Amino acid sequence: MNCIMLLVVVSIIIVSNVLFLQGNKIDAIFIAFWAPTILGFMNYLKYKK
């Protein structure tokens, strides 16, 4: 599960960078905020047990 979530985070970062380089800066920033949110949620689930 953790490996899948980390792959999702990496893909979000890549998509955000591609959007930024294409000139869609607002969309790139919006999508870039998803990565730390997902990582924070993973930490919450890890320490909840």
Q: What is residue 1's predicted lDDT score, i.e. its pLDDT?
A: 72
Q: What is residue 48's predicted lDDT score, i.e. its pLDDT?
A: 85
Cβ atoms of 27 and 15 within 8 Å: the answer is: no
Q: Give the C-alpha separation, 7 to 30, whole Å.
A: 19
Q: Which of 40, 48, 49, 30 is nearest to 5 (CA)?
A: 40
So where are the chain's domains?
Answer: 2-48
Place of tokens 């924070």: 40
- Average pLDDT for 44-48: 88
Q: What is residue 46's predicted lDDT score, i.e. its pLDDT?
A: 87
Q: Give the C-alpha separation, 31 to 21, whole Å.
A: 14
Q: What is residue 17's predicted lDDT score, i.e. its pLDDT?
A: 96
Q: Which has more pLDDT, 28 or 49?
A: 28
pLDDT (tens digit per residue) in 1-45: 788 888 999 999 999 999 999 999 999 999 999 999 999 999 998
